[in-house]
Structure 1
Amino acid sequence: MRLLFTGYTQSSDFRCPQAWLGRISFYTGILEALAEDHAVCSVEHIGWSGRVERGSVQYEFLPLGPLARRLPLRKHRFMRNWRPDAVLLNGFHHPLQLLQLRQALGPAPKLLVLHRADRPFRGLRRRLQQEAARQVDGWLFTARAQAAAWIEAGIIRDESRVHEVIQASSRFVPADRGAARAALGVEGAPLCLWVGRLDANKDPLTVLRAFAGFQAQCPGARLYLVHQSRELLPALQELLAQHPAAAAAVHFVGPVPHAALETWLNAADLLLSGSHSEGSGIAVAEAMSCGCIPLVTDIASFRRMTGSLVPRYPPGDAGALQQLLAQSISWDHGPLRAGLVREFERELSFGAIARQINHLLGSG
Structure 2
Amino acid sequence: MHDFKILALTKATGGIALYNRLLLSELDKMGVVSHTLCLSEEAESYAQNLTELGLGAEAMPMARYSIDPLGDARVLMRTLRLVRDLDVDVVICHGSKAGFIGRAVGLITGRPIIYRQASLPFLKRVQGRKASLYWALDFAAKWFGGHVVTLTDYARRQTLAHKLVRPDRISVIRTGVDIDRFRPAEDRAARIRALGLDPDRPVVGWIGRIEAQKAPLDYVDTLRRVAGRHPEAQFVLAGEGRLRGEVEAALAAAGLSDRVAMLGWQSAPEQVLQALDVYVLTSHWEGLPLTLLEAMACGCCCLSTDVDGCAEAIEDGVSGRLVAAGATEDLASALDDVLRDPGLRRRYAGAARQRTVALFDKTEMVAKWIELLSNVTAGKSRARGTPRPIIPARSPSEGR
| TM-score normalised according to structure 2 size | 0.73
Alignment CA distance shift 1:4-1:204 (3 Å): same
Alignment CA distance shift 1:54-1:240 (3 Å): closer
Match of 1:208 in 2: 220
List per-residue Cα deviations over 1:60-98 (Å, max 9, x = no partner). Answer: 325458956414334323223434443221112146623
CA contact (8 A) 1:205 1:236 kept: no
Alignment CA distance shift 1:257-1:81 (3 Å): same
The alpha carbon displacement at 1:177 in A equals 1.2
Aligned length: 346
List per-residue Cα deviations over 1:104-126 (Å, max 9, x = no partner). Answer: 431xx432111123613666775
1:337 aligns with 2:349: yes
Matched residue type, 1:2:
F
Q: 1:2 aligns with which of 1, 4, 17?
A: 4
List per-residue Cα deviations over 1:312-343 (Å, max 9, x = no partner). Answer: 11111122112211222423544643443343
Within 5 A, what are the aligned runs for 1:183-194? Answer: 183-187=194-198, 189-194=201-206
1:43 aligns with 2:36: yes
Runs of 4+ in 1 over 6 A off after TM superposition: 48-55
Matched residue type, 1:115:
Q
The alpha carbon displacement at 1:361 in A equals 4.3
Alignment CA distance shift 1:297-1:125 (3 Å): closer
CA contact (8 A) 1:86 1:111 kept: yes
Cα distance in 2, alignment partners of residues 123 and 24 from structure 1: 25
CA contact (8 A) 2:99 2:116 kept: no
Match of 2:140 in 1: 131
CA contact (8 A) 2:118 2:151 kept: no
Q: 2:57 aligns with which of 55, 60, 77?
A: 60
Matched residue type, 1:135:
F
Match of 2:283 in 1: 275
Alignment CA distance shift 1:113-1:2 (3 Å): same
CA contact (8 A) 1:114 1:167 kept: no
Cα distance in 1, alignment partners of residues 134 and 203 from structure 2: 46
CA contact (8 A) 1:178 1:267 kept: yes
Alignment CA distance shift 1:150-1:212 (3 Å): same
Gaps of 5+ in 2: 63-67, 123-129, 376-400
Cα distance in 2, alignment partners of residues 322 and 122 from structure 1: 31
1:141 aligns with 2:150: yes
Cα distance in 1, alignment partners of residues 295 and 48 from structure 2: 34
List per-residue Cα deviations over 1:190-212 (Å, max 9, x = no partner). Answer: 21001123333222333223223
Cα distance in 2, alignment partners of residues 29 and 220 from structure 1: 38
Q: 1:30 aligns with which of 17, 23, 46?
A: 23
Cα distance in 2, alignment partners of residues 68 and 214 from structure 1: 48
Match of 1:102 in 2: 106
The alpha carbon displacement at 1:291 in A equals 1.7
Matched residue type, 1:269:
D
Within 5 A, what are the aligned runs for 1:71-220? Answer: 71=74, 72-94=76-98, 97-106=101-110, 109-117=111-119, 119-120=121-122, 126-147=135-156, 150-156=159-165, 158-167=166-175, 169-170=177-178, 171-175=181-185, 176-187=187-198, 189-220=201-232
CA contact (8 A) 1:2 1:83 kept: no
3-state DSSP class of the match of 1:258? coil
List per-residue Cα deviations over 1:10-41 (Å, max 9, x = no partner). Answer: x5xxxxxxxx9xx9455322223233445231
Alignment CA distance shift 1:111-1:339 (3 Å): same
The alpha carbon displacement at 1:292 in A equals 1.9
3-state DSSP class of the match of 1:296? strand
Cα distance in 2, alignment partners of residues 184 and 256 from structure 1: 13
Q: 2:310 aligns with which of 276, 290, 302?
A: 302
The alpha carbon displacement at 1:276 in A equals 0.9
1:70 aligns with 2:73: yes
3-state DSSP class of the match of 1:312? strand
Moved more, 317-326 or 271-280: 317-326
Cα distance in 2, alignment partners of residues 124 and 115 from structure 1: 16
The alpha carbon displacement at 1:267 in A equals 1.1
List per-residue Cα deviations over 1:30-63 (Å, max 9, x = no partner). Answer: 22323344523132334488997676x6413254
Cα distance in 1, alignment partners of residues 225 and 71 from structure 2: 52
Percent identity between the two aligned chains: 18
Matched residue type, 1:264:
V
3-state DSSP class of the match of 1:315? coil
Cα distance in 2, alignment partners of residues 316 and 354 from structure 1: 34
Gaps of 5+ in 1: 12-19
Matched residue type, 1:295:
L
CA contact (8 A) 1:193 1:224 kept: yes
Match of 2:391 in 1: none
1:346 aligns with 2:358: yes
Alignment CA distance shift 1:233-1:252 (3 Å): farther
Alignment CA distance shift 1:43-1:68 (3 Å): farther
Cα distance in 2, alignment partners of residues 202 and 8 from structure 1: 20
